[in-house]
Amino acid sequence: MPLLIIPVLVLIGVAVWVVMQYNFFVSTKARVKAAVQEIGNQLKRQADLIPNLEESAKGYLKHEKGIFKDLAEARKTIASAVKSGDVQKMSDAGSMVSALIPNIQAVFESNPEIKGSEVVGKLMDELRDTADKVMYSRRLVIDLTADYNVRRVSFPSNLVASMFGMGELAGIATPQSGEHVEVGTSDLKTPKVKLE
């Protein structure tokens, strides 16, 4: 009888292992499904968030921008007035600048420190975070499908996979050939950053 115990134990071990493999496949499938939903969730967040961020940043920047625009205008008028040598035009330009001064004062008084760079910096932080969130939610789908697909084809877990008909998961659908796996001449140039 004790000899019989060994094959029985082996059989139990194999059965436990098969159950574990099966559970891995089905639970990973479920997790991939959830991870795909997470991408949608993050995209939705991004779609809701960015226009609002943009609006609030714009609101902050509007009065600063207005002042700078007015100042630029005034400078242009003065320059052209000086060039033309017309006294009337010069005095008009002068009064235009003096009319601006209370506006400038109002802006500086309401914001002792001009908040422009801080507001833009904050906007940039939020934009990077949002892009990261979408990227990382995709990363989870990629990682989970890779784990699943590797286990599906590698021995001996592939036996369990084929026994229960576990199909390959597509993950993030990406064409296997095309421009993104080729390096064109335009990619060899260093990108130029232009700030206008």
Partner 1 sequence: MKNIYEVQAANRTKSAVVVVGFFVFFALVVWVLSSAMGYYFGYEPGGLGMVGIALILSGLMSLGGYYYSDKIVLSISNAKPADRSEHFDFYTSAENLAMAAGIPKPKLYVIDDSAPNAFATGRNPDKAVVVATTGLLQKLDRTELEGVIAHELTHIKNYDTRLMAVVAVLVGTVALLADWFFRVSYFGGGRRSRDKESGGLAALFIVLGIVFAILSPIIAQLIQLAISRRREFMADAGSVAITRQPSGLMSALEKISSDHEPLEAANKATAHLYIANPFKDKIGGAVGSFAKLFNTHPPVEERISELQKMM
- Cα distances from 39 to residues 91, 107, 166, in angstroms, run 61, 42, 24
SS3 25: helix
CA distance 22 to 156: 12
Does the protein bind partner 1 through residue 76 (CB under 8 A)? no
Query: 35: which residues sit within 8 A by CB, 6+ positions away?
Result: 137, 140, 141, 144
Does the protein bind partner 1 through residue 61 (CB under 8 A)? no
Does the protein bind partner 1 through residue 123 (CB under 8 A)? no
SS3 115: coil
Closer to partner 1 by CB, 44 or 139: give it: 139
Show contacts with partner 1 in window 19-38 (CB under 8 A).
31, 35, 38
Q: Which of 21, 137, 149, 157 binds partner 1 (CB under 8 A)?
A: 137
Q: Closest approach of Cβ 2 to partner 1, in Å?
A: 23
N-to-C CA span, the chain: 87
Asked if the bond preceding 156 is cis, omega within 30° of 0, the reply is yes
Closer to partner 1 by CB, 69 or 139: give it: 139
Closer to partner 1 by CB, 63 or 138: give it: 138
Q: Closest approach of Cβ 90 to partner 1, in Å?
A: 50
Measuring CA to CA, which residue among 113, 105, 171 is closest to residue 137?
Answer: 171
Q: Closest approach of Cβ 132 to partner 1, in Å?
A: 5
Does the protein bind partner 1 through residue 128 (CB under 8 A)? yes
Footprint on this chain of partner 1 (rule: CB under 8 A): 31, 35, 38, 125, 128-129, 132-133, 136-137, 139-140, 143-144
